[in-house]
Amino acid sequence: MDVARLINDIGPRLRALRHRRGLTLEALSAQTGVSVSALSRLEAGKRRPTLDLLLPLARAHQVSLDQLVDAPATGDPRVHLKPRRNRKGSVVVSLTRYPGPVQVFKQVLGPSEPRLVTHAGYEWLYVLAGDLRLILGERELVLRPGEVAEFETNTPHWFGPAGEQAVEILHLFGPQGEKPRVRARPRP
């Protein structure tokens, strides 16, 4: 392991991560409490990264410290997923370990009343089990296991179980313009 290279690569990695998230130095400084000057010097490689700088940055970017510094693997390839439950009985498990253009979630959605929302981005939904009710503007669809829907999220939308039973889905979300791309199709 080349420790000097690992340390030298932290600054450019931090800059790329901040740019990917669309943050200014000022915005990141407000989130972390680290001064703009310290952030700038750290990204430029003019300041040595220390735990008191890296810990708030890892928290702000929602990555582990190992991911932030690109530490070598320790030999355990398992991903330790952390399900989040809400009070309506739904469960969300983030399957994406790194921040990037597309985030992936496995969700188990319990019954709830439709409430249409809009926001910037693009979503792709794949039904694993149960029936998914999808409302897109004036259209309403029911997707069954194995079916997929994709849409721009500036369209008013809502999705949840089609009945009283929970529905299990894979959910990909990306900023505007980031769409999953199909590279192989079944033969007709």
- Span 7-19, pLDDT tens digits: 888 899 899 888 8
Say if residue 133's pLDDT is above 90: yes
Q: Where are the CATH 1.10.260.40 domain residues in the chain?
A: 3-69
Residue ranges of the chain assigned to CATH 2.60.120.10:
84-174
CATH 2.60.120.10 fits 84-174, yes or no: yes
Q: What residue has token string 């983030």?
A: 94
Strands 122-129 and 148-152 turn out to be: antiparallel
Provide, rounded to the nearest whole percent, the portion of the chain with pLDDT above 70: 84
Strand partners, 117: 157
Model confidence pTM above 0.75: no
Cα(88)–Cα(69) distance, rounded to whole angstroms? 37
3-69 CATH choice from 2.40.50.110, 3.20.20.20, 2.40.110.10, 1.10.260.40: 1.10.260.40
Sole residue written with tokens 């809009």: 118
Joined tokens for residue 159: 């999705």
